Amino acid sequence: MTRSHNQTESDLRGRITDRTACVGIIGLGYVGLPLAQAFARHGFRVLGFDLDREKVDRLNAGESYIGHIPSASVAAMRASGFEATTCFDRLAEADAVLICVPTPLTESREPDLSYVINSARAIAKQLRAGQLVVLESTTYPGTTRDVVAPILETGSNGSGLGLRAGVDFFLAYSPEREDPGNPTFSATTIPKVVGGLDPTSGSLAALLYEPVVTKVVRVSSPEVAEACKILENTYRAVNIALVNELKMLYDRMGIDVWEVIAAAKTKPFGFQAFYPGPGLGGHCIPIDPFYLTWVARKYGQATRFIELAGEINTSMPTYVVARIADALNDRSKPIRGSRILILGMAYKKDVDDPRESPGFELMDLLMAKGAEVRYNDPHIPKLPSMRHYPHLRMESTPLTPETLAAQDCVLVATDHSAYNWSLILEHAPLVVDTRDATRGVAGAHHPKVVRA
């Protein structure tokens, strides 16, 4: 027989308030590990869960595998009581369980909730009265209520009866807002949106986050919180698609899109600068809008604006390859047999995060056309096994004058601060720059540089 709602709520509220609550975090990647660090720093006992034995072993040894989180920080977490484990039977030890797992797309660009579902099933096997469960993974509105809650209620304690969400245990959604590599913002300085399945769940989730973040923003439901995250990322995806489309148009017109954006952003109102690139990267922006278009179809509505933006953004790697072909052709060379060096395989500058990076598609497209492709990335010494590109396995090529001179084309895919653009322009015979990284050295026009 379960305890009363008031008793389970009061007990959990007390443990959170005096910071004796154990916080369990499922998924120790670019979202989960910074979150674990935040809770550990504020006196909570943190128990991290991950299926990757190597990650778990490194964390327990006080080592980091994420570039912007130093090993000293992990060692400090360990000293404060943090522990990582692959044993999901220990989920019962946690008073609050935060789900921070990937939500990718299938080959047909439909939501793949397998990681969320498997996490919910693992929690359900150990679920006890008085626990708080918070989903942080980006997903479509309705996932917390329609997917996670039924699994937890049906499967808890291994019985067909289960515990009741909002009564015996508590459930909320709070979207992650990580920006890896951005020194201005962190897991603790970005306001946290929280939507509970019921008022009590929302109150408890807000109470949990309040000690570790700068501000908690309560909303009325998990659906509002889920929709908020989708809106944030769709806003960026649509605006990036706009400048990507304008880049292609202005290129034909002989207009420098980067100069146009620089001029436009001098307007102090009504304009926010977004920048073109070789394609979208990261776990959120290339994926999340497609979650919304999928759920919209269930409601009989087409999201034409969002789908058009997706078409433009996903076409950018092909556009860049065409620009490389044109640049080589102007020098009487075909792509087939040309030596091409890609600078940067991370999805954005100064991080070691390769998730959804356009660099992989660029590499794959160029190799399919017969190019001899290598890469350099100071943050990614060896290409990890990627879900869609398991065949792309190589190590970073040292960036030397001899290496640069031996290429037919150097492609700037990610503009890491570590790159010496003067050295690159001095020795590379041709540079195709998708990030406007060389402007400070080459100016608006340079015989070696093609802006793509």
Residues marked active site are found at 284
> Which residues contact residue 434 at a Cβ distance below 8 angstroms, ignoring those fewer than 6 apart?
276, 277, 278, 320, 411, 412, 413, 451, 452
Specify the residue for token string 């609050």: 96
Q: Element (H or E) spanning 441, and its range? A: helix 439-442
Q: Are 257 and 439 in contact (CB under 8 A)?
A: no
Tell me which DSSP letter residue 146 carries: I
Closest CA to 101 of 133, 141, 79: 133
- Give, as one character, the DSSP assignment of residue 177: -
Of 125, 74, 119, 64, nearest to 97 (Cα)?
Answer: 119
Residue 41 burial (CB count, 10 A) = 18
* Residues constituting the chain: 452
Structure token digits, residue 229: 């995250």
Q: State the residue for tokens 């340079």.
A: 446
How far apart are the C-alpha atoms of 397 and 16, rounded to whole Å? 49
What does the alpha-carbon distance between residue 303 and residue 417 come to, in Å, rounded to a whole number? 37
Q: Is 109 exposed, middle or buried (0-12, 13-18, 19+ CB in 10 A)?
A: middle
Nearest to 125 by CA among 167, 106, 84, 97: 97
Q: Which of 288, 234, 240 is nearest to 105 (CA)?
A: 288
Contacts (Cβ under 8 Å, ≥6 apart) of 262: none
